[in-house]
Chains A and B, each alone.
Chain A
């Protein structure tokens, strides 16, 4: 046994370079931008601004986890931005009726899981293309959101709810930032150390092969969308806690930012490839660029431009290195 094991000794470094090429690339880009922006704007790399940056990327970060789970199966979830809005809204309404914060959060999670279940079932059992199924639920969730509140924002007056996002360790450094990092670590562990995680990659890589190998692929795909829905609900809870009121427009177009983060992080839209580390780096890179441009004093109209260029550049580099690797 050892003979085979020892036959080819790879250096650990070479292996990391091979298997985490996209993640390394984006880490390098992140460091580069970080240094450049720090030089141009001295007030960028301060504790206050870093805390500020965290608060800007926290919610997209949570949503990106769900999007990541779905994208590695080869799917896409367009509904999560609007679902964030709907879960926050159901929670706000339950809270203002019952004054019970925990019941409210439970309802938010149930809303997220249920819409995820519907998305997953439409895709997996009915066989709709993910793009179409979630495009439909995207429209429906926003509409229900408006119908529930009649288009008016709902204030949350339950004491202690704001604490979730305002409790801090020191100064502006909030506890929930740590919680998000912990969620990332747990989900990353799920992807690489559980059967569920492995199946997600396997389905994205070759769904037929996974089925023939005994995976109940339909069930796993549904779970991926439920995860995505739950993450949207958590995002909704956090956003509502931050603002202590729920506007029916919450979360609009957040799904696009999450897709961008996942893709920049090196995942393939066709599925089967991508790590959560990459996605986290993608979220941070987008956050750094937006925050940096802001601090430098560039007109916010340029933000979309910069992010767009980064997405396209990331994919071009990916393509070139892929071609190189094949040769």
Chain B
């Protein structure tokens, strides 16, 4: 490892509306090292990556490369200056071949010829593949869609190498890889390190951080917590504490703490649920009326998949979902609603709202859709709409305004209110406060308490640990599609949950 800075970013700040995504953050990268960038969701990792790869421009701050100040204002200029990014969603084109994908966008390296010299391109691809001993595994003429996910990822990295990038940013590179593939990837990273390439790696998997990286930077709420600390001076506990380290404020509103009533019959029982892709592994749990049950875990731990299977949005391969003693036989949201369930999805714009239809329609849609009779009762619907708007304080202009014109917080309330009108016995909320301002968050928590006190079983999926700890009575932690912990909230802490979510075991603080 040589001691020259490939990249030095100082005082980077970035603001999105009211959210300060990055606040005077410094970051540097040496040639031939792997620098891990760690933090909880919303800590600012992806914003920093976007800035370094030219997708976003910082509000302030400077970036230097090789001691000279540079401006990275587009992904293309990042590439030209030697920075490549491999994102979670690959940028490969499935219908094109390996060599076409690798040289897509910089065909000019072939002596400025407009027509791609196929033979030359194939040979260059083979050379690149042979760097990693993959020339017998991957045929440059195969189409990308016929390669495994790991192989596609390797192609992405080769693409970065073909640009002769000095800096390669990897976003959750192992999220979709098996253990074997991961170790193959790490071999490649080590090979390139020896050639003085610097890596910035963003990952949630702690064991991999300790395996591959040389230094580590931790972000929290857009601020630096640990800056470029050598990995030798870190351990798991320090890392967890640095990531979490927040206090739970009064922010979570008033909750009538209810002790779990063991004698009550469960309203929801899930037994040995496996999804169609065998990601969920025999998930079994039960939930009780009036209970607020939190689901914690890393992004991709299977919480959303579980919710979608329970509610019948996605089919499941095996297992049982029992509501109030009755087993759900069919897989469709309609049957789940009839049984008394509701689901607020994590992405209200894609799967919740009818953005270009009226506020009124959005509020009453689910109730009307699941009632008898084919003719709409406008007067009744209007009254329902006024009722719910008043009850959960939705601020709107007119009943016939488009849902698009409501603020994010009010939109979320509309989706929530829509389900409240159906009077569900079980309400599943997937990231109910994502992208919502602080004041509305508290309002939504109060709605949740209110519903729970009326005996509704609330299941909250949240990636914000303070939220889980602040509002839930009980928490289930998932990791890689399986439940790894189920405890009362009084037994839980951020350290314990992060420990289970990341390692599948408790990391006890000293």
Q: Which A residues, 2 to 28, have Cβ-Cβ distances below 8 Å to chain B?
A: 2-5, 8, 10, 15, 18-19
Bound Cα distance from A195 to B381, whole angstroms: 12
Residue among A1, A196, A201 having the largest count of chain B Cβ atoms under 10 Å: A1
Report if B357 contacts A (CB, 8 A).
yes
A56 — which chain B residues lie within 8 A by C-beta?
none
- Chain A residues with CB below 8 A from B49, complex form: none
Asked if A181 is an interface residue, CB under 8 A from chain B, the answer is: no
B375–A15 contact, CB under 8 A? no
Q: Is the CB of B368 within 8 A of A195?
A: yes
Contact assessment for B375 and A213 in the assembled complex, using a CB-CB cutoff below 8 Å: no
A206 CB contact (under 8 Å) in B332, B355, B366, B400: B355
B345: interface (CB < 8 Å): yes
Give the distance in Å from the alpha carbon of A272 to the alpha carbon of B357 in the complex: 7
**Interface residue count for B (Cβ, 8 Å)?**
37
Question: Which A residues touch B365, using CB under 8 A?
Answer: 198, 202, 210, 213
Which chain B residues border A196 with CB–CB below 8 Å? 374
Is A49 an interface residue, CB under 8 A from the partner?
no
When C-beta atoms are compared, the residue in chain B nearest to A9 turns out to be B398
CA distance A215 to B374 in the complex (A): 13
Q: Indicate if B370 sits at the interface (CB-CB under 8 A).
A: yes
Q: Mark A186-225, 1 if CB is under 8 A from B, else 0.
A: 0000001111101101100110111111111000000000
Stretch of B20-28, B54-62, B254-262, B384-392 with 4 or more beta carbons under 8 angstroms from chain A = B384-392
A242 at the B interface (CB under 8 A): no
Which residues on the A side are within 8 Å of B311 (C-beta)? 212
Query: Given A198-B361, A213-B366 in contact, is the A208-B350 Cβ separation under 8 Å?
Result: yes
A99 within 8 A of B: no
Check A202 against B354 for contact (C-beta < 8 Å). Answer: yes
For the complex, is B183 an interface residue (Cβ under 8 Å from A)? no
Interface presence of A273 (CB below 8 A): yes
Q: Given A1-B390, A196-B374, A211-B313, verify A205-B354 contact (CB < 8 Å).
A: yes
* B454 interfacial by beta-carbon distance below 8 Å: no
Closest residue on chain B to residue A205 by CB atoms = B354
| Chain B, 300-315, CB within 8 A of any chain A CB | 311, 313
Complex CA–CA separation, A211 to B373 (angstroms): 18
Q: Which residues of B contact A211 (CB under 8 A)?
A: 313, 333
| B333 contact set on A, CB distance < 8 A | 211-214
Instruction: State which residues 333-383 of B face A: CB under 8 Å.
Output: 333-334, 337-338, 343, 345, 350-357, 361, 365-366, 368-370, 373-376, 378, 383
Task: Count how many chain A residues have C-beta atoms less than 8 Å from C-beta atoms of the other chain.
Answer: 32
Q: Is the CB of B351 within 8 A of A206?
A: yes
Report B410 CB to chain A, min CB distance, Å.
13
Are B354's CB and A206's CB within 8 A?
yes
- B370 neighbours in A (Cβ, 8 Å): 214
B441 in the interface (beta carbon within 8 A): no
User: Does B375 contact A194, Cβ atoms closer than 8 Å?
Assistant: yes
Complex contact B376–A198 (CB within 8 A): yes
Whether B112 is near chain A, meaning CB under 8 Å from some CB there, is no
B397 close to A (CB within 8 Å): yes
Q: Does B474 count as interface, using CB distance less than 8 angstroms?
A: no
Q: B166 at the A/B interface (Cβ < 8 Å)?
A: no
Query: Does B14 make an interface contact (CB < 8 A)?
Result: no
Tell me whether B220 is interfacial, beta carbon within 8 Å: no
Asked whether, in the complex, the Cβ of B387 is within 8 Å of the Cβ of A206, the reply is no
B356 in contact with A208 (CB, 8 Å): no
How far does the Cβ of A6 sit from chain B's closest Cβ, in whole Å?
10
Please measure, in the bound complex, the distance between the C-alpha atom of A194 and the C-alpha atom of B378, giving whole angstroms.
10
**Could you say which residues of chain A place their CB within 8 Å of the CB of B479?**
none
Residue ID in chain B nearest A16 by CB atoms: B400
| C-alpha gap A215/B370 in the complex (Å) | 8
Min CB–CB distance B187 → chain A (angstroms): 41
- Is B418 an interface residue, CB under 8 A from the partner? yes
Question: Does the CB pair B352–A215 fall under 8 Å?
Answer: no
CA distance A198 to B353 in the complex (A): 14
Contact A8 B376 (CB under 8 A): no
Closest to A19 in B: B400
Known contacts being A198-B361, A214-B337, A214-B366, is A209 close to B354, with CB within 8 Å? yes
Q: Which residue, B373, B386, B418, has most C-beta atoms of chain A within 10 A? A: B386
B418 touches A213 (CB 8 A): yes
A208 partner residues in chain B, CB cutoff 8 A: 350-351
A209:B375 contact, CB within 8 angstroms:
no
Instruction: Check if A4 sits within 8 Å of B389, measured CB to CB.
Output: yes
Contact indicator B374/A195 (Cβ below 8 Å): yes
Check if A216 sits within 8 Å of B390, measured CB to CB.
Answer: no
Report which residue of B343, B369, B400 has the largest number of chain A beta carbons within 10 angstroms of its beta carbon: B369
B residues less than 8 Å from A216 (CB atoms): 332, 334
Contact B390 A209, beta carbon cutoff 8 Å: no
Q: A198–B343 contact, CB under 8 A?
A: no
CA distance A212 to B334 in the complex (A): 8
B-contacting residues, A246-275, CB 8 Å: 272-273
Q: Is the CB of A206 within 8 A of B353?
A: yes
User: How distant is the Cα of A201 from the Cα of B343 in the complex, in angstroms?
Assistant: 21
* B375 CB → nearest A CB, Å: 6
Known A-B contacts A211-B313, A213-B333; the reply to A194 vs B354 at CB < 8 A is no
- B351 lies within 8 A of A273 (CB): no
- By a CB distance below 8 angstroms, the chain B residues around A4 are 386, 389-390
For residue A302, give the distance in angstroms from its CB to the closest CB of chain B: 36
- Considering the chains assembled together, what is the distance between the CA atoms of A10 and B337 in angstroms? 35
Contact flags A226-259 to B (C-beta < 8 A → 1, else 0): 0000000000000000000000000000000000
Residues of chain B within 8 A of A205, CB atoms compared: 354-357
Contact A194 B357 (CB under 8 A): no
- Please name the residue on chain A nearest to B396 by beta carbon: A8
A192 to B360 Cα, complex, angstroms: 13
Known: A194-B375, A214-B333. A5 touches B398 (CB 8 A): no
Closest residue of chain B to A14 (Cβ to Cβ) is B398
B148 to chain A, nearest CB (A): 26
Bound: A296/B193 CA distance, A:
80
Find out whether the CB atom of A1 lies under 8 angstroms from the CB atom of B345: no
On whether the beta carbons of B351 and A209 are closer than 8 Å, the reply is: yes
Minimal beta-carbon separation of A199 from chain B (angstroms): 7
Inter-chain CA distance A212–B333, complex, in Å, is: 5
Task: Fill in one digit per residue for A263-305: 1 if any B CB lies within 8 Å of its CB, else 0.
Answer: 0000000001100000000000000000000000000000000
Q: By CB atoms of chain B within 10 A, which of A2, A4, A193, A272 has the most?
A: A4
- A212 close to B376 (CB less than 8 A): no
Least CB distance, A190 to chain B, in whole angstroms: 9
CB-based contact A1/B387 at 8 Å:
yes
Q: Is the CB of A1 within 8 A of B383?
A: yes
| Residues of A contacting B400 in the complex (Cβ-Cβ under 8 angstroms) | 15, 18-19
Cα A206 to Cα B365 with chains together (Å): 12
Who on chain A is nearest to B368 by CB?
A195
Residues of B contacting A3 with CB < 8 Å?
390
Interface pair B332/A212, CB less than 8 Å apart: no
Contacts A/B (CB < 8 Å), 9 sampled: A1-B387, A15-B398, A192-B376, A195-B368, A198-B368, A202-B354, A202-B361, A213-B418, A216-B334
Other A-B pairs beyond A15-B398, A209-B354, 8, CB < 8 Å: A8-B397, A10-B397, A15-B400, A208-B350, A208-B351, A213-B337, A214-B337, A216-B334
Interface, chain B (partner A; CB < 8 A) = 311, 313, 332-334, 337-338, 343, 345, 350-357, 361, 365-366, 368-370, 373-376, 378, 383, 386-387, 389-390, 397-398, 400, 418
Chain A positions within 8 Å of B, measured between CB atoms, are: 1-5, 8, 10, 15, 18-19, 192-196, 198-199, 201-202, 205-206, 208-216, 272-273
**5 smallest beta-carbon distances between A and B, as pairs:** A205-B354, A213-B366, A214-B334, A214-B337, A208-B351
